[in-house]
Structure 1
Amino acid sequence: MSLTIKFWGVRGSLPSAPPPTDWTYHVEGVLRNFFSAGYRDPSQISRYIQSLEVPQVGGYGAATTCVEIQSPKGQLILDGGSGIRNLSERIMTGTTGRGKGPFHIFMTHFHWDHVIGLPFFTPNFIPGCEVHYYAVQPELEKLIRGIFQRPYFPVPFEALKAKIHFHVMEPRKPYQLEDMTITPYKLDHPDPCWGLKVECGGKAYAHCVDTEGTRITREELGEDLPLYQNVNLMYFDAQYTLPELAEKANWGHSAAQVGLDIAIREGIQKVLFAHHDPGARIEHVQELKRQTKEYFESRQRFASANQNSLPPVEWDFAHEGLEIVL
């Protein structure tokens, strides 16, 4: 094992879950399918549930972006969306084995959906804890301090008990964090946003949200191309369908087909699509998944018709709580 990646929040823009009426409709459908799948006895319910993919039963999650990466010697947290609260609760139960840290949090950018959970990251308040914040943006310290102030939050930054450190990173310069090498690369977003490549033990993870993917070719990507090269797992922004992407130009989010094209060209082994729209219900994301499958298969047919073959690419749409081991 080199890297374990866990997704604590995969929603974009703001925390969002289906309303009770939608859940009632969804549960009704799951129960109806129990019988159409050939099951009859209540003792078979567990077997039926286990035969389904997690999102088919529980959806994709409500929390905004937060990803945890664990290596044999270290831990790195990417973004402080609302998903960081559940990570914080796990940390406080003592099940991480990390004690009082140090905790390392890389911020891609500072839109609300990526910082909303930081005031609920409990280690910030614990004496003796050590929390390190990283970002390319030179205003890093000012922006983090600004979250912990009235009227946005009742506890001022000066009252936090942890030892908090700020590290402004240089673009495209690799940094060593325990046994991980981390390198920030620029994404395509209206406000400056930096993706991160995390490498350890011959494995590599590329964090690519929020990005619109307006730079597609190797020439256009230029010095940011290494973010997508020699990668085992890429986490890519897929908030929109292709028609929506055209309608919402310069909003800073992409479509799965864009990420799939990059993955095919660069030989990326696995892609997870995320940053699900706050208005996207389970059926909506499933429809995005269907469209992506249709597109992938069309590319396979085109390659076959020209006596070529596509490199193998695994892909799926991420859900909250998903864990991948590289």
Structure 2
Amino acid sequence: MKARIWGARGSLPVALNHKQVRAKLETALRGAIGRQLDDDAKIAAYLDEELGFEVSGTYGGNSSCVEVEVWDQANTREHVILDMGSGVRQLGGAKLARYGAGNPQTYHVFMSHLHWDHIMGFPFFTPAYIPGNRIIFYGCHEQLETAMRRQQEAISFPVSFDQLGATIEFRCMLPGVALEINGLRVTAKLQLHAGDSYGYRLEHGGRAMVYSTDSEHKLGDVEAGAAFVEFFRDADLVIFDAMYSLADSISVKADWGHSSNVVGVELCQLAGVRQLCLFHHEPIYDDAQIGRVLAETRRYAQITGEAPLKIVSAYDGMEIDL
């Protein structure tokens, strides 16, 4: 299995502005003074080894979308997608470039919930316009089809849902009842979020990953915490909503439906998870702030954990092999 991040932001897409780009350039150029970067190898080493990712790269700005490669991509026409935030536009373009318009594909799409930052990319998902493709939406919300259709009504979008060329289906899941697709086992879990959100545990070939975004964890709710520990149990990867600091999540932003990096570490440590991916980044955080959160999270895990827990911070384009 492989997880590929196409959108890591929460609430709404964001973009680097000219001041942020200039600040990155200034930092990189200042650090390059006296280094004699006179060939490609030296330049590459400077970028990759000396500059932090928050300077040499970017965590990106697309809203939530994760692709999970389950089956051999050379021999399958079936794909798994978690949420359809703005990142799914680029995902669709990549699939079209690889397989072409005349080679029908099936997309299994699991929706955490129906807020706009998680569905807004679907009208721009090119495979939906191509006859022969098949898109199957899975979710625990009864209003799933209504939500996908509503955002393409005439007042909001120029192309109606009924004009899409692909065959589109909707299948309702029940929390705790596993669904199987060609050897892939998917189980949904109810999460605390306005309008309800659902996390997904995906298991295939002895590997397991959990996608748990838009989920608030109340520190005093021991029973709920224990249930999530079991949901995460022994996962190779947990993609986790770490939108807020712990202080914010239990004070000014309590009941806003999101969690923190500290809670993610604690749940994963108790569950024996091997890798934690911080996800659903706060849109007002720039790359430097996200980088600081990652460093702080790694320090916290090192101090508090007995078993090693690998921690990464999601960025658009990231690939994680399980």
With the length of structure 2 as denominator, give the TM-score of the two structures: 0.91
1:273 is matched with 278
Distance 2:102 2:83 in 1: 19
1:314 is matched with 310
What residue identity is the alignment partner of 1:59? T
2:162 is matched with 158
Q: Deviations along 1:30-50, whole A, 9 cap, x unmatched? A: 222233xx7212312122123
1:307 is matched with none
Q: Deviations along 1:275-302, whole A, 9 cap, x unmatched? A: 11111101111221232233224325xx
1:24 is matched with 22
Is the 1:212–1:252 contact (alpha carbons within 8 Å) kept by the matching residues of 2? yes
What residue identity is the alignment partner of 2:17? P
For residues 1-326 of structure 1, the aligned pairs below 5 Å read: 3-35=1-33, 39-43=35-39, 44-51=42-49, 52=51, 54-72=53-71, 74-94=78-98, 99-214=103-218, 219-221=223-225, 225-245=229-249, 246-300=251-305, 310-326=306-322
Is the 2:187–2:201 contact (alpha carbons within 8 Å) kept by the matching residues of 1? yes
Is the 2:225–2:267 contact (alpha carbons within 8 Å) kept by the matching residues of 1? no
Give percent identity, aligned residues only: 31
Deviation at 1:157, TM superposition (A): 1.2
Q: Deviations along 1:115-158, whole A, 9 cap, x unmatched? A: 11000011111111111111100111111111221211111111
CA RMSD in angstroms, aligned pairs only: 2.0
2:75 is matched with none
Shifted more, 149-158 versus 41-50: the winner is: 41-50
Is the 2:245–2:260 contact (alpha carbons within 8 Å) kept by the matching residues of 1? yes
Q: State the number of aligned residues.
A: 313
Deviation at 1:103, TM superposition (A): 0.9
What residue identity is the alignment partner of 1:316? V
Deviation at 1:54, TM superposition (A): 4.1
Is the 1:90–1:96 contact (alpha carbons within 8 Å) kept by the matching residues of 2? no
What residue identity is the alignment partner of 1:31? L
User: Residues 69, 96 of structure 1: CA spacing in aligned structure 2 closer, same or farther, 3 A cutoff?
Assistant: farther
Deviation at 1:217, TM superposition (A): 6.5
Deviation at 1:216, TM superposition (A): 7.3
Q: Secondary structure at the match of 1:72?
A: coil
Deviation at 1:221, TM superposition (A): 4.0
Q: Which runs of 5+ in 2 are unaligned?
A: 73-77
What residue identity is the alignment partner of 1:70? E
Q: Which runs of 5+ in 1 are unaligned?
A: 301-309
Is the 2:298–2:311 contact (alpha carbons within 8 Å) kept by the matching residues of 1? no
With the length of structure 1 as denominator, give the TM-score of the two structures: 0.90
User: Residues 188, 21 of structure 1: CA spacing in aligned structure 2 closer, same or farther, 3 A cutoff?
Assistant: same
Is the 1:135–1:168 contact (alpha carbons within 8 Å) kept by the matching residues of 2? yes
Deviation at 1:224, TM superposition (A): 5.1
Q: Secondary structure at the match of 1:93?
A: helix
Distance 1:99 1:53 in 2: 41
Is the 1:66–1:83 contact (alpha carbons within 8 Å) kept by the matching residues of 2? yes
Distance 1:67 1:201 in 2: 19
Distance 2:227 2:290 in 1: 32
